[in-house]
Amino acid sequence: MNYKQPKILLLVSVLTLVSCNLSQNVVAKPPLQQDLKTTPSVLPTKSNTGDSATHLTYKIATYDSQLMGANRTYGVSLPPGYEQNPKQRYPVIFLLHGGHGNPSDWFIQGKGQALKTVEQLYATGKLPPSIIITPDGNDKRGSSPYRDPEYIDGPNGKVSTAVGDELVKVVQSRYRTLTNPDFWAIGGLSSGAWGAMNVGLHNLNHFSILFSHSGYFKDKSGPTNSPIIYIKGISIPAKKRLRIYLDSGKADIEEIDEAKNFSQVLNNLKIYNLFRKFPGSHTWQYWREHLADSLTFVGEQFKSAEMASMARNVGVNNENP
């Protein structure tokens, strides 16, 4: 009855030896978290942003607009380290001016002073270094204290497409931008806040992050240019991708009601949004103080998009070891 025992012991020994040899040659896939740590960053890191204490500057540039039939201007501020890192690409933020405004409004002393805010956000890591663009939102009639800019494609020019598509392509051709819409944000103040929503929703192939300070969301031209109505008809994938920030001063009664109603519509559509109320009114002081809030939100979305991009890359690499 014991004659099988040596054969059994031999078989066990062989299997054990084979198992040991195989275990030396098989490399287990690391967990996703470890993969993410070794996946190259999409956004600029502290090591390639240069001197964070360097003061930002801006300039006014021009381009030939085929849509508007004339030269158009825009403001641009490049992030720290841009010249020193020629292989790095950057997220983009469009800031739209309001009524009787121009592309320098967000930058100049006494109005937006945006670069001071952006410098602080870079220093604290709340906003990844970005290319800041301030478009000209005026139509063919120019700026006027008696009317708001019309961020629409209308009888006075295709401003919406000029800002949301034509200028985007100019920026992409002139600067090292990330192309994924998840790394493009557009926002503004007052009529520029409505403009940001309207332009953004009509150009979702370019923008996924929209933000509004003291904006309104219905336009006299009709539902096509009324974000609170138009957004209901966009595709389900677009709704899932959108990230929207809204704020208004508590003394801005009409605008705060507009933002509250718009946020409720967004909630009903299951579109990710953040609505905040702060002390203040319809003034540059309010917009200066709370630009940091909207851009912090933008920075959070950029970072989330980077994590999603890295996770997708890890998934592809794990499928193709």
Does the structure show a pLDDT above 80 at 316?
Answer: no
Cβ proximity of 42 and 13 under 8 Å: no
**Average pLDDT along the chain:** 87
pLDDT of residue 7 exceeding 90: no
Checking if the pLDDT of 17 tops 50, the result is: no
Per the CB < 8 A criterion, the answer to whether 303 and 126 are in contact is no
Q: What is the mean pLDDT of residues 301-316?
A: 86
Q: Could you tell me which residues come within 8 angstroms of residue 102 by beta carbon, excluding any fewer than 6 positions away? A: 73, 136, 138, 143
CB 236 within 8 A of CB 176: no
HSE at residue 20, side-chain half, CA atoms within 13 A, is: 6
Cβ neighbours of 237 (radius 10 Å): 9
What are the backbone dihedrals phi and psi of residue 76, each rounded to the nearest 5 degrees, phi first?
-145, 135
Residues above pLDDT 90, as percent of the chain = 75
pTM of the entire structure?
A: 0.85
* Distance, CA of 139 to CA of 180 (rounded, Å): 28
pLDDT at 315: 61
Distance CA 29, CA 293 (A): 40
Question: So what's the pLDDT on residue 53?
Answer: 54
Q: How confident is the model at residue 309 (pLDDT cuts 50, 70, 90)?
A: confident
CA-based nearest residue to 258, from 213, 215, 197:
215
- 79-91: average pLDDT: 95
The pLDDT value given to residue 3: 39
Give the integer Cα–Cα distance in Å for 150 and 282: 19
Tell me the range of 4-18, 143-157, 175-189 where mean pLDDT is highest.
Answer: 175-189
Query: How large is the average pLDDT for residues 65-83?
Result: 96
**Backbone φ and ψ of 157, nearest 5°:** 130, 155
Q: Supply the pLDDT for residue 317.
A: 53
User: Could you give the count of Cα atoms lying within 13 Å of 248 in the half-sphere of its Cβ?
Assistant: 24
pLDDT tens track for 237-293: 999 999 999 999 999 999 999 999 999 999 999 999 999 999 999 999 999 999 999
* CB contact at 8 A, 198 and 152: yes
Residue-level pLDDT at 201: 98
Q: Which fold has domain 50-315?
A: Rossmann fold (3.40.50)
Place of tokens 């604290």: 124
Q: How far is CA 304 from CA 32, 123, 267, in A?
A: 16, 19, 20
Residue 8 has pLDDT above 50, yes or no: no
Q: What is the pLDDT of residue 149?
A: 84
Query: Is residue 49 predicted with pLDDT exceeding 70?
Result: no
User: Other C-beta atoms within 10 Å of 102: how many?
Assistant: 18
Strand residues in 89-226 grouped as ranges (E): 92-96, 131-135, 153-154, 157-158, 184-189, 209-213
